[in-house]
Structure 1
């Protein structure tokens, strides 16, 4: 077991015999490119430091599952490593003299993750590498205990420095002039947006293939017939959606876009701009709702399979029915009614925001690098 991880570590340990570069940083990615945004904001902050202060760090984005010798050499000769996911080869790697930062790919506390989802053997391996992590940056003091448990770390290494990708939400990007320019830019690319509010439907995936067939439950035609004069529907599916689709329920969103007046934003890279542009978010169990609460805009939870999800999927760190930041609906008809009546329950949104972010500040990348880099 873990043969691939041990082979990776063996090659890494050989390259560790070469000199380490104290200004070299590895940003460890994986095949899920939607996880990269935290690393991209760290890279941007490094570029800012080079321009403003002349602090020149060499950084590389490295695919964590690649056995490329060049990649592993670049990785092994780095002093600093930033992760957005677990990395099991670390259990067998010699990392003396390196600093490792776990940024994770989710925000706050929501669905169960990490240690809570591992089997016995996986937990043993995590326990072998967890003490090699120097810092886990989290969104607020309120979530430290859960992250310390799930990374099997002492709480002193879990600090509320924030989530780098949320550095986007500065006063500049929330300014009305910027929002106007963003809207105009989108309208050039998507002219059907002109004169309409944007509703973003961003469901997560289900491992149950029946419940994963979201468009068997979300009636696009009814939604457009009832709300299409005022709202334009955009859809952003989870990267794992297709993984749990069988042929019977597989939907081609491009075909849907041709049939209905909707926009497919599944492959759209800049999620923060998409959230800024959206007037309403419809989701279910996706952690996208956590980031969206920063904007204090309405969220509706379309949880058509709630009982199944609570009983069969991974579970939550809070009472879903009590804590989610908006009204829960179970049918398209209920969803339409909530939007028509603008009955969004924004008080729940504010409570959820405080739980997840506490005192939110969009400066996480700077704070993290100030803490971890040896260039004071």
Structure 2
């Protein structure tokens, strides 16, 4: 964004948000946002649905640029309605940082859920190539009242990376992951039906992260023909790209054995129906580990990512709870090996040890909502 555009945006946000803050905060008004209004997903969705199920009296509003068929009250990001509701809500719930120009009133509780446990470096731990973003992250994080974390280890990283008091980081787990700890066959069947997936298919979810230097077109780093021929018709590969790069996809790569599910908002539901996860540096594997299903890691550009793009908080090979492969042939071989009972048992032990360290809390959404003030303690 050019300097002139940034100045215009800053002036607009500050002027109208300051004006709307003259209005009183409306009790029980809750404003939700996920991935900058691109999705209805993650912790904000899980909290929203829990409040709905409890038939609370909260006024529930979404920042959602394309509501589609969802029957929810929604406003476009940075519209005047958005700024008004943001200025007058009692609770604002987001899974990404917002513009620091939108400083809430002291009577608004700002709940930041974040969108994943970090393997790759984030926020103030990034190098100065990200300096413009770092300043915005730093100022916005100053306004947060709560931030969710799934373990003490991740809570410590969040506190340091966002430079916030560790008392604001609540070690409770994430509401979005409550469904992953349960075998909800009704929901699983509902998701498969909505995607027209036969119940007999073995489902592999491929969810790579984005690269900060990706520009122009994005190309899938898998050969469709090779993987389909090797795995056969028993398998269905679901490809779910990161929201930062889904607009770069050059056409569709769907066929009867590969499905592009990038536009499916709720990745937790995709994890629920999947038998295997393949990823690289995405935080998705921290969540998927809760299912105790097998994972494979395909970091085909690890040296560049580690040394040039982001870097990691943990040693990659010794931390990820699954086999690491660097080329497509090895990936296919590893998928086929997962059929072995002995191999599955050894991988399950790795995942259990991983969860003891990074997913130490059994998620209880009711308890979490009480801790942040959305529900009464009684």
Total equivalences in the alignment:
354
Question: Could you give the per-residue CA deviations for residues 101-131 of structure 1, whole angstroms, max 9, x where no partner exists?
Answer: 111112x231111222364565455444433
State the alpha-carbon separation in 2 of the partners of residues 86 and 152 from structure 1.
Answer: 13
> What residue number does 1:239 align with?
243
1:346 deviates by 3.3
State TM-score, norm by structure 2: 0.82
1:80 deviates by 1.7
State the alpha-carbon separation in 2 of the partners of residues 65 and 358 from structure 1.
Answer: 37
> What residue number does 2:68 align with?
none
Question: Could you give the per-residue CA deviations for residues 151-198 of structure 1, whole angstroms, max 9, x where no partner exists?
Answer: 221111111122121122353xx15xx26x83487268536x353311
Moved more, 337-346 or 202-211: 202-211
State the alpha-carbon separation in 2 of the partners of residues 331 and 57 from structure 1.
Answer: 50
| Alignment pair present for 1:269 and 2:236 | no
Name the one with the larger helix percent: 1
Instruction: Give unmatched runs, 5+ long, in structure 1.
Output: none
User: In the alignment, is the contact (CA less than 8 A) between 1:141 and 1:159 conserved in 2?
Assistant: no
> What residue number does 2:231 align with?
227
State the alpha-carbon separation in 2 of the partners of residues 238 and 94 from structure 1.
Answer: 29
Match among 355, 358, 375 for residue 356 of structure 1: 358
Question: Could you give the per-residue CA deviations for residues 276-318 of structure 1, whole angstroms, max 9, x where no partner exists?
Answer: 2211111111111111101111101112222222222212110
> What residue number does 2:71 align with?
none
User: In the alignment, is the contact (CA less than 8 A) between 1:13 and 1:93 conserved in 2?
Assistant: no
> What residue number does 1:218 align with?
222
User: In the alignment, is the contact (CA less than 8 A) between 1:10 and 1:93 conserved in 2?
Assistant: no
Cα distance change of structure 1 residues 183 and 120 upon mapping to structure 2, 3 Å threshold: closer
> What residue number does 1:284 align with?
280
Aligned residue for 1:338, secondary structure, equals: helix
Question: Could you give the per-residue CA deviations for residues 248-274 of structure 1, whole angstroms, max 9, x where no partner exists?
Answer: xx6422xx324x632222212332232
Question: Could you give the per-residue CA deviations for residues 25-55 of structure 1, whole angstroms, max 9, x where no partner exists?
Answer: 2223454534732111111222233x3xxx4
Tell me how large the CA RMSD over aligned residues is.
3.0
State the alpha-carbon separation in 2 of the partners of residues 212 and 228 from structure 1.
Answer: 29
User: In the alignment, is the contact (CA less than 8 A) between 2:275 and 2:294 conserved in 1?
Assistant: yes
User: In the alignment, is the contact (CA less than 8 A) between 1:62 and 1:75 conserved in 2?
Assistant: no
State the alpha-carbon separation in 2 of the partners of residues 218 and 165 from structure 1.
Answer: 29
| Alignment pair present for 1:167 and 2:164 | no
1:1-376 correspondence runs (5 A): 3=7, 4-31=9-36, 33-34=38-39, 36-49=41-54, 51=55, 55-62=56-63, 66-90=77-101, 93=103, 95-106=105-116, 108-117=117-126, 119-120=130-131, 122-171=133-182, 174=183, 178=185, 182-183=188-189, 186=192, 190=196, 193-209=198-214, 214-215=219-220, 217-242=221-246, 251-253=250-252, 256-258=253-255, 261-342=257-338, 343=343, 345-359=347-361, 361-364=362-365, 366-373=367-374, 375-376=376-377
State the alpha-carbon separation in 2 of the partners of residues 43 and 185 from structure 1.
Answer: 19
Aligned residue for 2:229, secondary structure, equals: helix
Cα distance change of structure 1 residues 141 and 212 upon mapping to structure 2, 3 Å threshold: farther
> What residue number does 2:67 align with?
none
